[in-house]
C-alpha cells in the first residue's frame, strides 16, 4: 500500500466506512487502519461491535487483532436500510463534524434477488447516505462502489466513464417510484440482472439529486479473492460472486453443467472477468489520495 501516491495525506483523513464485514469493506478497513496513517475510522456495524469483531476474526484471523490494536476504530451502530442508517443522533452529529471521507461498500451481491429487493439494498441506501452527507462541512469525497456491468444495455463498443441513461431515456425518479410500487421495471425486457439494474439506477439518481456533492463512483468488474492484502486468497464467504456463480450452477443436479458458446461467438472468447479485491481497494484509496471527483 506504500505505493499509493501521497500516503501521508491520510493522516488528515477521518473516514466513515460501511460494509466492513464484507470482502471489499474488510480489505479497505485493513488498509486504512494498518497500512495507512488514517487519523480515525468510523465503522458502521449492525447489531453490536462484538458481532463485527467476530466477523472480522472469522474472515481475517489475526489481521482483525492488528486492526483493533491501532486504536483508530470508532464503532457506530446502525443498519443501511433504516432512515439515517439507524445511527443515533449523537453519533451522527459527531461524524458530521469530523468525517472528511465516506466510503460506501455495503451492498447485496445476491445473484438471484428480485428487482425490488436489489433496489432496497443497493440503491436506496446510497441515496440516503448522500442525503445524510450533504451537511458534512469537512467532506472531501464520497466514494460509492458500483459495478462495470451497469451499462449492459448499450450496444457493443467502448463504454466511457460517465453516467448513461437507459435506452428508453426514462426519468430516474419516475422509474424508481414505478419499481417501488409494482416491483417491476416499466421496460422489463431491457434488463435481466436486478443487481446491475439497481446500481445503474443508483448512479443516475445520485447524479440527479446530489450533483453538488464530491462523489466518486468506482466500477469494478467481478471482485475476487485478494492477491496480497490482508493476505493471499482473502475473501469472506459469500463475497466472491464468481465462486457463488460456479457453486450454484455446478451443484444443480447430478450431471455437470455444460456452458455452450452463444450463437455467432467463438469458443474461448467468453471470459468471466475477475479482479482481486485488494486491487480494487487500492484504486479507491489512490483516488482518495489524489482527490478525484466524478460528479
Residues 17-60: pLDDT tens digits?
A: 999 999 999 999 999 999 999 999 999 999 899 999 999 999 99
Give dist(CA 174, CA 74) in Å, integer.
Answer: 38
pLDDT of residue 241: 60
CATH code for the part of the protein at 7-152+160-250+270-290: 3.40.50.720
**Cβ burial 69-85 (10 Å sphere, 16+ → b, else e):** eeebbbbbbbebeeeeb
Q: pLDDT digit string (tens) for 249-274?
A: 555 555 555 555 556 666 555 566 78
CB of 45 closer than 8 Å to CB of 76: yes
pLDDT band at 9 (very low <50, low <70, confident <90, very high): confident
- How far is the CA of 155 from the CAs of 85, 187, 195, 265, in angstroms? 37, 17, 20, 16
Give dist(CA 85, CA 222) in Å, integer.
Answer: 27
Residues in the chain: 295
Write down the mean pLDDT value for the chain.
85
Give dist(CA 41, CA 29) in Å, integer.
Answer: 8
Gyration radius of the chain over CA positions = 19
**Secondary structure of 84-153 as H, E, C letters:** HHHCCHHHHHHHHHHCCEEEECCCCCCCCCCHHHHHHHHCHHHHHHHHHHCCCCCCCEEEEECCCCCCCC
pLDDT band at 77 (very low <50, low <70, confident <90, very high): very high
Query: In angstroms, how far is CA 17 from the centroid of its own chain?
Result: 10
pLDDT of residue 1: 43
- Picking from 230, 225, 254, the residue whose alpha carbon sits closest to that of residue 34 is 230
- Picking from 233, 287, 277, the residue whose alpha carbon sits closest to that of residue 5 is 287
CB of 118 closer than 8 Å to CB of 111: no
Q: For the whole model, what pTM was predicted?
A: 0.86
Rounded (10°) angle between helices 115-122 and 172-182:
120
- How far is the CA of 133 from the CAs of 126, 256, 286, in angstroms? 10, 49, 21
Q: pLDDT digit string (tens) for 136-179?
A: 999 999 999 999 888 877 887 888 888 887 666 678 899 899 88
Which backbone phi and psi does 42 adopt, to 5 degrees?
-85, 125
Give dist(CA 246, CA 251) in Å, integer.
Answer: 8
CB of 108 closer than 8 Å to CB of 119: no
pLDDT of residue 282: 95
Amino acid at each position: 500500500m506504500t505505493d499509493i501516491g501521497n500516503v501521508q495525506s491520510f493522516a488528515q483523513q477521518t473516514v466513515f466506512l460501511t460494509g466492513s464485514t464484507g470482502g471489499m469493506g474488510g480489505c479497505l478497513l485493513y488498509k486504512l487502519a494498518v497500512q495507512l496513517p488514517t487519523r480515525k475510522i468510523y465503522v458502521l456495524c449492525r447489531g453490536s461491535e462484538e458481532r463485527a469483531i467476530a466477523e472480522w476474526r472469522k474472515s481475517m484471523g489475526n489481521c482483525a487483532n492488528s486492526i483493533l490494536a491501532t486504536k483508530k476504530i470508532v464503532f457506530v451502530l446502525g443498519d443501511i436500510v433504516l432512515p439515517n442508517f439507524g445511527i443515533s443522533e449523537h453519533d451522527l452529529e459527531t461524524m458530521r463534524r469530523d468525517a472528511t471521507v465516506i466510503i460506501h461498500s455495503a451492498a447485496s451481491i445476491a445473484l438471484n434477488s428480485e428487482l425490488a429487493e436489489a433496489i432496497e439494498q443497493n440503491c436506496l441506501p446510497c441515496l440516503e447516505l448522500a442525503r445524510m452527507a450533504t451537511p458534512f462541512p469537512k467532506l472531501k469525497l464520497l466514494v460509492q462502489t458500483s459495478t462495470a456491468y451497469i451499462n449492459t444495455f448499450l450496444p457493443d463498443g467502448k463504454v466511457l466513464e460517465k453516467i448513461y441513461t437507459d435506452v428508453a431515456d426514462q426519468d430516474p425518479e419516475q422509474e424508481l417510484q414505478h419499481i417501488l410500487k409494482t416491483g417491476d421495471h416499466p421496460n422489463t425486457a431491457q434488463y435481466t440482472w436486478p443487481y446491475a439494474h439497481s446500481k445503474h439506477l443508483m448512479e443516475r439518481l445520485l447524479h440527479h439529486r446530489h450533483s453538488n456533492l464530491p462523489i466518486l463512483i468506482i466500477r469494478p468488474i467481478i471482485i475476487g479473492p485478494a492477491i496480497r492484502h490482508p493476505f493471499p486468497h482473502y475473501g469472506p464467504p459469500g463475497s466472491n460472486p464468481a465462486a457463488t456463480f460456479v457453486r450454484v450452477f455446478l451443484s444443480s443436479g447430478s450431471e455437470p453443467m455444460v456452458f455452450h458458446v452463444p450463437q455467432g461467438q467463438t469458443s474461448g472468447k467468453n471470459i468471466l472477468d475477475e479482479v482481486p479485491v485488494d486491487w480494487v481497494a487500492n484504486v479507491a484509496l489512490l483516488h482518495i489520495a489524489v482527490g478525484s471527483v466524478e460528479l
